[in-house]
């Protein structure tokens, strides 16, 4: 059986797990470069029976799955992958399994971006290295209002750090209750109030039909000119063109982004050239500890499936 391990950008998959544990006859192949477009994916993977996908880096819609007739097992890192058509997998008899994950890294990166923005770390670092000294005033975190959009596990972790910094923490999501907000140390406000009054807005919603484009021109237009937007969740939550417009026209102070509508971010994408941004290349889950869990569990998934006892099933 041929096993494809996709989108291993850093060439770490082979050393993050013991692939020799796979049954005899299972041959892993590691793909470092992203496969651009459905035709390229179909051509590269049509001979593989098992595919290990890294999160949502490669999409598996019904149209692609129909072009992979040999595929029998699809493993995704993590237990949620909106880029896989689970109904199409079920129709084709493709088993889909997930893996465990370390829960804290995305919340940690959120705070790295918030602090980088308010403390001007990228700009000051660049100036210092080129011979300069102080180039502008930084901002105090304490006393500012943190608006958390989505108060699940990650949003709650981010909120608690905000409280530790002495921030006023407010929250909103479509189904958030006042009781749940209070339990996380936040206050429930309506969506309009959150965007209009927060100094930092951070997004932590799950992407779905209800949340696609939940932050658009209206929400960005309601923000204070001194406010910052941070997104370490999913690019689809945010209207990227509306954000570009707001940043170019300085209608908000800046943005910290870890997720983008096209990934890897194209070399000439306008976000790369805006000075009021801090950008990271989807690092929220890219930690040594997470990769060890991802690929260890992927090996376990393949072993269990080969023995007729699949584990961590998605869409079951």
Q: How many CB atoms are located within 10 Å of the residue 272 CB? A: 11
Q: Do domains 2-102+287-306 and 105-279 have the same CATH topology?
A: yes
Q: What pLDDT score does 36 carry?
A: 86
- Determine which one of 120, 204, 282, 312 is catalytic: 282
Q: Let me know if 234 is a catalytic residue.
A: yes
- Determine which one of 55, 120, 145, 234 is catalytic: 234
* CATH code assigned to 2-102+287-306: 3.40.50.720
Q: What pLDDT score does 315 carry?
A: 76
Q: Let me know if 300 is a catalytic residue.
A: no
One digit per residue, the tens of pLDDT, for the chain of length 316 reads 999 999 999 999 999 999 999 999 999 999 999 998 999 999 999 999 999 999 999 999 999 999 999 999 999 999 999 999 999 999 999 999 999 999 889 999 999 999 999 999 999 999 999 999 999 999 999 999 999 999 999 999 999 999 999 999 999 999 999 999 999 999 999 999 999 999 999 999 999 889 999 999 999 999 999 999 999 999 999 999 999 999 999 999 999 999 999 999 999 999 999 999 999 999 999 999 999 999 999 999 999 999 999 999 997 6
Of 2, 91, 92, 11, the residue nearest 52 (C-alpha): 2
Q: What is the pTM of this model?
A: 0.93
Q: How far apart, in whole angstroms, are the C-alpha atoms of residue 43 and residue 61?
A: 15
- Determine which one of 108, 124, 139, 263 is catalytic: 263
First to last CA, the chain: 24
Annotated domain spans of the chain: 2-102+287-306, 105-279
Q: Let me know if 282 is a catalytic residue.
A: yes
Of 111, 83, 115, 79, the residue nearest 298 (C-alpha): 79
β-bridge pairing 168-172 and 2-5: unpaired
Give the fold, CATH level 3, of 105-279: Rossmann fold (3.40.50)
């Amino acid at each position: 059986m041929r096993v494809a391990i996709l989108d291993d950008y850093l060439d770490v998959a082979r050393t993050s797990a013991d692939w020799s544990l796979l049954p005899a006859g299972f041959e892993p192949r590691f793909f470092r470069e992203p496969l651009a477009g459905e035709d390229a994916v179909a051509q590269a993977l049509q001979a593989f029976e098992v595919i290990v996908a890294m999160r949502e880096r490669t999409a598996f819609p019904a149209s692609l799955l129909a072009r992979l007739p040999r595929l029998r097992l699809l493993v995704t890192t993590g237990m949620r992958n909106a880029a896989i058509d689970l109904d199409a997998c079920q129709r084709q008899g493709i088993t889909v399994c997930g893996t465990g994950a370390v829960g804290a890294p995305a919340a940690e990166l959120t705070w790295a971006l918030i602090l980088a923005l308010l403390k001007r770390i990228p700009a000051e670092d660049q100036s210092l290295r080129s011979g300069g000294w102080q180039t502008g005033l930084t901002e105090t975190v304490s006393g500012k209002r943190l608006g958390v959009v989505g108060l699940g596990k990650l949003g709650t972790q981010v909120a608690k750090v905000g409280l530790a910094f002495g921030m006023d923490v407010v929250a909103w999501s479509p189904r958030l209750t006042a009781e749940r907000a209070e339990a996380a140390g936040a206050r429930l406000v309506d969506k309009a109030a959150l965007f209009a009054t927060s100094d930092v807005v951070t997004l932590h919603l799950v992407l779905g039909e209800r949340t696609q484009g939940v932050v658009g021109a209206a929400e960005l237009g309601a923000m204070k000119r001194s406010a910052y937007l941070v997104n370490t969740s999913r690019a689809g939550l945010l209207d990227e063109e509306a954000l570009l417009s707001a940043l170019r026209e300085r209608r908000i102070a800046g943005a910290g982004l870890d997720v983008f509508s096209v990934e890897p971010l194209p070399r000439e994408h306008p976000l790369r050239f805006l000075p009021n941004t801090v950008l990271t290349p989807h690092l929220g889950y890219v930690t040594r500890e997470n990769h060890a869990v991802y690929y260890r569990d992927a090996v376990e998934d393949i072993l269990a499936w080969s023995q007729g006892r699949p584990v961590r099933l998605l869409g079951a």
